[in-house]
Homo-oligomer: A and B are copies of this chain.
């Protein structure tokens, strides 16, 4: 088995076909899934073997190729009907995943635009569109990484939260992209990874991928960030984002807001790394972002074992909103966005990037 590198991300296509990292087994076991049927791809997506919006979209796009290879249609119209059915199957695996639906539509539209006249040319067009989607995502992450390298200056001791990592994308990740680029250049970057309760994505996934890539990483309790900063152990903070409002208010994994407050108190820069498409022009500010409340059991248990007493419940907010005034800069594929925010964000939006 070849060594995994961050530039591969959580999903890729190689000489053996589609490959997905079985993320439910991490970090105990590194296993690469090789789905050979549409049902296997759909299963991998629905049970979260692959996670992260970009990685899911790429897996679904390649899933269309897997469906064609499995059924081996003999004519272009037959292939077209088969693709429509396969797309519907894949869409149903995660009905609320916007990026999954978008990726499927895009690949089908692009392949159809080639007016394929044979099953073979249809397959070639679908594969080309899926590969282009994966390539673009990796390139987008790389550009986010370049923005990060620029913004970080000489900062090399980075604290991050949750997993906005390579595993969730077609390569490099978002918050992790600057770290991988610096590491590729031979810079001595090191990371403190918040464990990220309740689901421990930092401890399980971020620590895994950075360690695998050879970047020194230490896990810390989420509540320790202020103390670590007070000790002078943190040069900069980088986090990802689930949604960014027009004014820069940022929804991200619970704990990000507290981290931003600690950074602000210590005068340590905190960067939000995200594709420019994460800015939502329909969301004027953070108050318009609905915050998902998840199952109480996630907090009441630890790694599957109940911790809290029977009869006690939890309040489990999945995300928080960091006010834009606390964000030092946004690291995007379109460059570094600095305050004043509504203005710098709007300028890029008007250029039609979003």
Contacts and interface: CB of A to CB of B under 8 A. Distances in A.
Interface of A: 26-28, 192, 194-198, 200, 203-204, 207-208, 211, 217-228, 230-231, 233, 254-259, 261-262, 265, 291, 299-300, 302-303, 305-317, 319-321
A254 B229 CA distance: 13
A227 B197 CA distance: 14
28 contacts: A194-B223, A195-B299, A195-B308, A197-B221, A197-B223, A203-B307, A204-B307, A204-B308, A207-B312, A217-B312, A218-B314, A218-B315, A219-B300, A219-B308, A220-B299, A220-B315, A221-B299, A222-B223, A222-B255, A223-B255, A224-B317, A224-B320, A227-B317, A228-B317, A230-B257, A258-B261, A258-B262, A303-B303
Majority SS at the chain A contact face: mixed
B223 A321 contact: no
B299 A302 contact: no
Nearest to A302: B302
B207 A309 contact: yes
Q: Which 5 A-B pairs have the closest CB atoms?
A: A223-B255, A27-B309, A227-B320, A226-B257, A222-B223
A312 B218 contact: yes
In the complex, the count of this chain's copies comes to 2
Contacts of A219: 299-300, 308, 312-315
Given A200-B307, A223-B223, A223-B259, 19 more contacts: A28-B306, A192-B315, A195-B299, A195-B307, A197-B197, A198-B221, A203-B299, A203-B307, A208-B309, A211-B312, A219-B312, A219-B313, A219-B314, A223-B256, A224-B320, A227-B319, A230-B320, A261-B261, A303-B303
A257, A302, A308 pick with most chain B CB within 10 angstroms = A308
B312 A227 contact: no
A226 B308 contact: no
B223 A258 contact: yes
A305 B308 contact: no
Interface centre among A197, A291, A312 (most CB of B within 10 A): A312
